[in-house]
Chains A and B, each alone.
Chain A
Amino acid sequence: GESVGLHLPTLSVQEGDNSIINCAYSNSASDYFIWYKQESGKGPQFIIDIRSNMDKRQGQRVTVLLNKTVKHLSLQIAATQPGDSAVYFCAENAGGTSYGKLTFGQGTILTVHP
């Protein structure tokens, strides 16, 4: 599978704990944000998204929070499971003429210990 690089932020949690993964974005014009999960040997998999007119959105076991004032995005995973172990990426889209282009963050390695 793909190696994830030696300098990614890491988060280790125990099974059943809640996890919070953070992301700082740079473009104040971005109006759409997505969290992706990438497991070894696979492509990024969509988890949850949020538009800039919202500050919170919930899915199944996941919640995304958006703070536009400080350009910060977070992903909360409730009752983390070993299957949640992966690299998590935030991505932003500024719309306009670049509506198809996502800008990814560097990624965070989440390791869940049974």
Chain B
Amino acid sequence: EAGVTQFPSHSVIEKGQTVTLRCDPISGHDNLYWYRRVMGKEIKFLLHFVKESKQDESGMPNNRFLAERTGGTYSTLKVQPAELEDSGVYFCASSQGTAYGYTFGSGTRLTVV
């Protein structure tokens, strides 16, 4: 079975630009999660989709971040406009059930300069 796929793997953008990250979960996984790790800090939860609905978006830092999961398949995370502090690694994960049995993707390293 294919794992969780994220792209791009790396992105370097200038402050003020827009970036869209994409996550393809494992086929059949209704639950999809976004996390990020800012350099030197712990991995932090951003939000949780169940199919196309946002179950929990308590971790979204501000309204510059927009996550979507149209059709309940792949998800996108858009940052607009990007700020320097948004730099880090953005992970996506999926699971068939609830919090148990998460599978993470390899992440997208975002660098805002």
**CB <8 Å contact, A44 and B104:** yes
> Which chain A residues border B42 with CB–CB below 8 Å?
89, 104-107
Interface hits, B41-84 → A, CB 8 Å: 41-45, 48, 50, 55-56, 58-59
Interface hits, B18-47 → A, CB 8 Å: 31, 33, 35, 37, 39-45
> Which chain B residues border A3 with CB–CB below 8 Å?
39
Write the residues of chain B forming the contact surface with A, with a CB cutoff of 8 angstroms: 4, 31, 33, 35, 37, 39-45, 48, 50, 55-56, 58-59, 89, 91, 93, 98-107, 109
Q: Jot down 23 A-B pairs with beta carbons below 8 A, ordered by A.
A: A5-B39, A34-B102, A36-B104, A41-B106, A43-B91, A43-B93, A43-B106, A44-B91, A45-B104, A46-B103, A89-B43, A100-B33, A100-B56, A100-B99, A101-B45, A101-B56, A101-B59, A101-B99, A102-B99, A103-B45, A104-B42, A106-B41, A107-B43
